[in-house]
Structures are given as structure tokens and as C-alpha cells.
Amino acid sequence: MRIRAFTIFFLLFLAVSSYGQEIDLPTDPLNGRIVFEEKKCIGCHAIGGYGGTAGPDLSREQYFGSVLELASIIWNHTPQMNRKFRQLRMDRPKLTENEMLDLLGFLYYLRYLGEPGSVANGKRLLDSKGCITCHSVAGQGGKVGPDFKTIQRYSAPLYMVQAMWNHGPAMQEQIKKGKTKYPILTGQDMVDVAAYLRQVSSADVEVRMSVGNPKKGRVLFEQKSCSNCHVGEGKRKRIESGLIKIDLKKGVTEVASAMWNHGQAMLQYMQQASIHWPRFQGNEMADIIAYIYFLGFEDHEGSDRRGGRVFGEKGCNSCHVKGGEGKGPDLASLKKLDSPVRMIQLMWNHAGDMEDLLITQNKRWPELSPEEMRDLYAYLRKMSKE
Ligand code: HEC
Ligand code: HEC
Ligand code: HEC
Ligand code: HEC
């Protein structure tokens, strides 16, 4: 019933303009790696042990925040970073808006890049999750599904997820016959299973999926009919109409697992709504997961009223004065501020001079919480020129 309603609403709401902005998505999260090196971040920050040691190794932290949450982290570290810049006699790199976006995308993606799987745990999981009741490894095990030794190619966990997803309905057909329960995968399970399957496979073609292009994923989200039941970004009206908002602030592996784990329920819904089970090929699964992953980039709306107060309390108005009489420009003359990434880019670029000025005035660095960043953004956006 609910699903019928979805479909009708979907058609209805195609006609209604959507609410909320599109998120800025990086095209390839790995571009950020290039910027990271070009701008010499790598000189102070290691990634997975490789790189400088003046700042923290950034692959140790998890950065799953929205753009403005990440912005807040970087902003608050400005004084410590600047001290190092001065010590090492380095120039503070200036960033363009695209470079900033790429860097934020890269930080967000870091954790995903180096997840090693445990082969031993993968082997155990095949048993405990019941895969082995249907599948065999070199002849040992069930005969319902293909033998993992003979599977032609996979190595990357996402490639395995794609294969599993595509075979989802057939697997579920067997599960209905009472073979075993639907295998739920949590935490690192997916990666561990992939590591094991990779080892037992006799295939010599190693297939790697590229990290996924979230912009392509956005298109696929429509094409593969996910948008019949889900909303990605914004579009509040469509959420109100009953579409399910995907809001997973999680790592790539967990996103992939969530999609798999809900496969059984989704298949039912799809059958009721006469939607064909969407299949993925090439890099598509990586793309769509990258898109879902980057949905966590979206910020909720701040309040321009509170933002105005933040602007005063944090001393921004001591330099940014109406009419431009202060040390900094009148921000009302700013070109229309239409993306949070541009705000953090402008703020990053001026953080060096700003700190120098604050030091001469013997003032503290104004830290900004994520909430304050959002409010500030709402305020500056409203204030900036149309
Ligand atoms: C001259 C050395 C230096 C350079 C170059 C540098 N940083 Fe930093 N960075 C630091 C230091 C020092 C800290 C702060 C450590 C602290 O607060 O304890 C820091 C902190 C950070 C943090 C917060 C880490 C945390 O605690 O979670 C991020 C994110 C970051 N830097 C990103 C960058 C990016 C992106 C670049 C390149 C555009 C860059 N840094 C360039 C020295 C540097
Ligand atoms: C109830 C039986 C059943 C269970 C349990 C099961 N599978 Fe499958 N699996 C199948 C069937 C049947 C196919 C082949 C479907 C087809 O031909 O379309 C398949 C296909 C696959 C494929 C695609 C193989 C290829 O050709 O690319 C992978 C990968 C896979 N399964 C992994 C797993 C993993 C990992 C588990 C445990 C977490 C699991 N399966 C549990 C029945 C099962
Ligand atoms: C016919 C409706 C329908 C379609 C089409 C559909 N889904 Fe879903 N999806 C659902 C429902 C319903 C749930 C919640 C299932 C549950 O409760 O287990 C869900 C859950 C999810 C989840 C888990 C969300 C969470 O918060 O844990 C993800 C991720 C997801 N879907 C991704 C997709 C993607 C990607 C597509 C397109 C390939 C898609 N879905 C297509 C109905 C659908
Ligand atoms: C100590 C003085 C000072 C303080 C305090 C200060 N700024 Fe600035 N700001 C400047 C100066 C000087 C410039 C222009 C020069 C530059 O870009 O380095 C500037 C430029 C900017 C710009 C870019 C304007 C443009 O047209 O490119 C933005 C946005 C900005 N500041 C926001 C803020 C916010 C938000 C705060 C409060 C958290 C703040 N500033 C606090 C001195 C300051």
C-alpha cells in the first residue's frame, strides 16, 4: 500500500520543485590526494605513515563529517598549523574552491582507502554466515551457488558487493527454500570475506574498482530507480511525501553492508511496486556507494540570526566593519556566497593574515564549532550580494 503511494507521490512530485540545495560533490575523491601533495600538506601530515611528522597522521582519524564539520576541524587548528608554517619557513598554501572541495573529499575518503581485510576472519565468516551452505570452496560445501574457487574475478570488496547484489534475487530464492538465513554483514565483515575470497579464487585477473565517482553515482541513483523510494540530498518535500532519506554517516564498508543487509526488505518492496531489481556493472556499484557515502557531506541549515551573533561574539566584526573601514573588507560586498565550500575556502586563504593581525592585537584565535560554522554560513550567505 505504502509503496503504491510512493509511486504516485513520486510522479506528483516530479512536477513540484525540489527543496534544498545540491551538495558539492568531488568528481574523484582521489584528486584530493594530488592537491594534498601539490599544496605540501604531505610535508607535515602523513597518510598511513608516509609523509611529514610536524602535524598528525591524518589517516588515523575518521572524518565522516559534513563539509562544515570538517571546516570547523581545520579552522580550529589554524594557530597550531601556522606556528609550524613559521617554524619551517613555509608559505601557507592558498586554495581555490575546487581544491578545497577535493581536499575535503579526500579527508572524508581517507579511511576507506586502506582498509585491509583479515583472511582468517573471512574464512570463519563464510561458515558463521552460512555462505558455505550454498557455496563451496574447492569442492567443499554446498552446491547451490557457484564454487568460490571458480569465480572468475574479484578482489576489491566493492566488486564482491556488486556481484552479491546482482545475484541477490537468486540467492533469496534459495533462502526461501529454507537453506539458511539471510546473511547480515556488519563492521568489517564485507572486507574480510572479500580478502578471503580473493585468496581462494584461482582467477588470475585482478579486478580493481576505482574509488567511485559520486557525481556518476548521483545519476545512477535516478537511473537505477533508487529515487523511486529514496531521497538523496535535500528535497524536503519528497521526504514529507514518504520517501526514505538515506542518512548514513558511516564508512564505505558500512554503507555497502547497509545496502546488502536491507536487500531482502528492498526486494519485497520492489516486487510490490513492480520495480525490476536493478543490476550494476563495471564501476557502477562503487559510484553509487560513493554517492551515498558523500550524502554525509550535506549540512543542515544554520540560522542567519544566530550567525549574526556568532559574527559579533567571535570578533569577526572587529575587522569586518560595514562600509569597509576595518582591517578586513566589508563582507556585504562579497560575491553571492552559494556554497559552504567557498566560505571555508575564503576563510582558509585569509587565516594566515588574520592570525598575524590577531597576534599583534594580542587576541585569541576564535574557534568555531560546527554549529557556529553553519550559522555563520547562513548569515554570510544572506548578507552577500545577490
Ligand atoms: C607546516 C606544517 C603543516 C602543513 C603544511 C599543513 N598542516 Fe595541517 N596541521 C598541522 C599542525 C601542526 C596541526 C595541528 C595539530 C594540533 O592541533 O595538535 C594540523 C592540523 C590539521 C588538521 C586537523 C587534524 C586533527 O586533529 O584532526 C587537518 C584536517 C589538517 N591539518 C589539514 C591540512 C591540510 C588539508 C593541509 C594542506 C592544505 C595542511 N593541513 C597543511 C601542520 C601542518
Ligand atoms: C541460500 C543460498 C546462498 C547463500 C546463503 C549465499 N549465497 Fe551467494 N549465491 C547463491 C546463488 C544461488 C548464487 C548465484 C546466483 C545466480 O546465478 O544468479 C550466488 C552468487 C554469489 C556471488 C556471485 C558469484 C559470481 O558469479 O560472481 C557471490 C560473490 C556470492 N554469492 C557470495 C556470497 C557470500 C559472501 C555469502 C555469505 C555472506 C553468500 N553468497 C551466501 C546462493 C547463496
Ligand atoms: C521499492 C522501494 C526501494 C527501492 C527501489 C530501493 N530501496 Fe533502498 N530501501 C527501501 C526500504 C523500504 C529500505 C528499508 C529496508 C528495511 O527496513 O530493512 C531501504 C533501505 C536502504 C538502505 C539502508 C538505509 C539505512 O538507513 O540503513 C540503503 C543504503 C538503500 N536502501 C539503498 C538503495 C539503493 C542504492 C537503491 C537503488 C539501487 C535502492 N535502495 C532502491 C526501499 C527501496
Ligand atoms: C584581525 C582581523 C580579522 C578578523 C578578526 C577576521 N577577519 Fe576576515 N579578513 C580579514 C582581512 C584582512 C581580510 C582580507 C585579506 C585576506 O584575504 O587575507 C579578510 C577576508 C575575509 C573573507 C574573504 C573576503 C573576500 O572578499 O575575499 C571572509 C569570508 C572573512 N574574512 C570572514 C571572516 C570571519 C567569518 C571572521 C570571524 C570568524 C573573520 N573573517 C575575522 C581580517 C579579519
Q: Tens digit of pLDDT for each residue in 62-108?
A: 777 788 999 999 999 999 999 999 998 888 899 999 999 999 888 88
At 111 the pLDDT is 64
Band (pLDDT 50/70/90 cuts) for residue 1 is: very low
pLDDT over 80 (residue 318): yes
Q: Can you list the alpha helix ranges (DSSP code H) found in 156-247?
A: 157-166, 168-176, 189-200, 214-223, 236-240
Is residue 20 in contact with ligand 1, taking CB distance under 6 Å?
A: no
Ligand nearest to the CA of 142: 2
Which residues on neighbouring strands pair with residue 141, listed in sequence order? 136
Encoded amino acid at 146, one letter: P
Band (pLDDT 50/70/90 cuts) for residue 351 is: very high
**Percent of the residues in the chain that have a pLDDT greater than 70, as a whole number:** 88
Ligand nearest to the CA of 143: 2
The distance in angstroms from the start CA to the end CA of the chain is: 45
Taking alpha carbons only, the member of 385, 384, 381, 380 closest to residue 311 is 380
Give CA–CA dist 102/73, Å, rounded.
16
The dihedrals phi and psi of 143, each to the nearest 5 degrees, come to -115, 5
pLDDT over 50 (residue 17): no
Domain ranges of the chain: 31-111, 115-208, 304-383
Contact criterion met (CB below 8 Å) for 262 and 270:
no
Give CA–CA dist 216/282, Å, rounded.
12
* 359 Cα to the center of ligand 2, angstroms: 63
- Quick check: helix, strand or coil at residue 273? coil
**Cell representation of residue 14:** 516530479
Mean pLDDT of 180-201: 87
- Quick check: helix, strand or coil at residue 93? coil
Q: Which fold has domain 304-383?
A: Cytochrome Bc1 Complex; Chain D, domain 2 (1.10.760)
The predicted-structure confidence for 144-170, as pLDDT tens digits, reads as follows 888 988 876 666 778 888 989 999 999
* 84 Cα to the center of ligand 1, angstroms: 9
pLDDT over 80 (residue 114): no
For ligand 2, atom 32, the nearest C-alpha belongs to 164
